[in-house]
Chains A and B, each alone.
Chain A
Amino acid sequence: NAGVTQTPKFQVLKTGQSMTLQCAQDMNHEYMSWYRQDPGMGLRLIHYSVGAGITDQGEVPNGYNVSRSTTEDFPLRLLSAAPSQTSVYFCASSYSEGGPYEQYFGPGTRLTVT
């Protein structure tokens, strides 16, 4: 199993540009989520999904869109990038039936918005 994969590893955007961060998992996990990590802030939840076709907002959803058309993929879209979105983004997945909800993390995407 490749686990959770994220592409790209690094990205530089100009203010106003759009892009999609890709996330895929091959563990047949129902639950997937996106976090951003900023110094001194820990990990903050952006969006999450409990299955294909079902998404919900997390703590910091503004400026980001998601969709979940398959179990495997959960892309994160930045519609109009802003410098405040400079961060490291992590995708995670887990089973959603029963518990506990141990999450498996991807290696991250480091995004810089200039």
Chain B
Amino acid sequence: AQSVTQLGSHVSVSEGALVLLRCNYSSSVPPYLFWYVQYPNQGLQLLLKYTTGATLVKGINGFEAEFKKSETSFHLTKPSAHMSDAAEYFCAVSRSSGNTPLVFGKGTRLSVIA
């Protein structure tokens, strides 16, 4: 079975500060990992994904995440927060083989303070 744990249901940062959103996963097979963002009253939008190969993945809006197998982590970072980054962020995992659904974490709400 797969699972995702997002540490911190709410993270608050100052504008211009580093954003770090934590995600740890559990999977019995090599995983595919995703970060999605949800702006208020909208659906989810893919930020970035890890499949195979390079462990540092760059996504949209300046976000990146690093797959660390030894730590079973896939933390999301952005060097400098912008007010427009305020949203809810979801980490998700799926198996790298077969037709299996995504398993989502409970989400982290990011607030950006001016």
In the bound complex, how far is the Cα of B39 from the Cα of A105, in angstroms? Answer: 13
Judge whether A99 and B43 touch: CB under 8 Å. no
Out of A41, A100, A106, which one reaches B51, CB within 8 Å? A100
Judge whether A33 and B101 touch: CB under 8 Å. yes
Query: A19 contacts the other chain (Cβ, under 8 Å)?
Result: no
| Interface locus among A42-50, A60-68, A69-77, A78-86 | A42-50
Chain A residue contacts of B97, Cβ below 8 A: 99
In the bound complex, how far is the Cα of B94 from the Cα of A96, in angstroms? Answer: 12
Dominant secondary structure of chain B at its interface with chain A: loop
Query: A16 contacts the other chain (Cβ, under 8 Å)?
Result: no
Distance in Å: Cβ of A84 to nearest Cβ of chain B: 18
Given A50-B99, A103-B102; A90-B43 close (CB under 8 Å): yes
Out of A42, A100, A105, A107, which one reaches B94, CB within 8 Å? A100
Contact count band on A: 20 to 34
Write out, one digit per residue, whether chain B residues 7-24 have a CB within 8 A of any chain A CB (1) or not (0): 001000000000000000
Judge whether B104 and A42 touch: CB under 8 Å. yes
In the bound complex, how far is the Cα of B42 from the Cα of A40, in angstroms? Answer: 17
Query: B44 contacts the other chain (Cβ, under 8 Å)?
Result: yes
Given A42-B106, A105-B44; A100-B101 close (CB under 8 Å): no
Judge whether A99 and B51 touch: CB under 8 Å. yes
Query: Chain B: which residue is nearest A38 at the CB level?
Result: B106
Out of A40, A43, A101, which one reaches B104, CB within 8 Å? A43
Chain A residue contacts of B42, Cβ below 8 A: 107-108
